[in-house]
Amino acid sequence: MTGHPLSQEQIDTIIRLFPTTNNKELARITGASKSCIANYARKYHLRKTPEHVTAVHRASGLASAATGNIPHLTDEIITRRAETYKQRYKTEKARRLFGLEQKTKIKIRIAPRDYQTQRYYLRQLGYMVDDREKVAYYDDNTKRAFRLEAKPKKYFSFKPLLAATKG
């Protein structure tokens, strides 16, 4: 991490209060920046509690209602909006899985994280990865991952690049 390291007391405070406290408030309490709080949260795998996240979303909705953007916002309307979003997300994910164009700007993650990690690792070694066919091609300049190639093909099958150009 960059910047000034925090004391053990500050780190303990972050770990203890992170699940139920906003990062801005936590930064004020510890004297660190918001990005520093986020970095330590990532380092120690800290997560906000579902109750805290719900409360923040509800407060955001109520603040939006107070500005006049959404008149008379109730718990029922907040719940309905969340359900609508979930349904829209599922629909968009299905569209992406079947190769259709998205209708909204919702960010959809199709591939699981370990797939993305393996794809990145293979590209770093010099493999040419074809996501559509789930094939990783190698040539003479590729640092081959023989142990990974020998494992059962969870995400990618491995082929020499020459085989791809011949046929």
HEC profile for 11-70?
HHHHHHHHHHCCHHHHHHHHCCCHHHHHHHHHHCCCCCCHHHHHHHHHHHHHHHHHCCCC
pLDDT tens sequence for the chain (167 residues): 456 788 999 999 999 999 999 999 999 999 999 989 988 988 888 999 988 888 887 777 777 666 766 666 677 777 787 788 888 888 988 888 777 888 888 887 766 778 888 888 999 999 998 877 889 999 998 999 888 888 877 788 899 987 555 54
Q: What is the structure's pLDDT at 72?
A: 67
Q: Which residue do the tokens 């500050």 mark?
A: 10
Q: What is the pLDDT of residue 163?
A: 53
Q: In what order do the strands lie in the sheet with 128-130?
A: 128-130, 135-138, 157-160
The region, left, alpha or beta by phi > 0 then psi within -120 to 50, assigned to residue 68 is left
Predicted local confidence at residue 73, as pLDDT: 66
pLDDT score of 70? 62
* Residue showing tokens 């930064």: 27
Give the pLDDT score at 69: 63
Closest residue by Cα to residue 8 from 50, 40, 55: 40
Give the Å distances, CA to CA, from 84 to 73, 94, 139.
15, 15, 48
What is the domain partition of the chain in residue ranges?
8-48, 63-97, 113-166
Would you say the pTM of this structure is higher than 0.85?
no
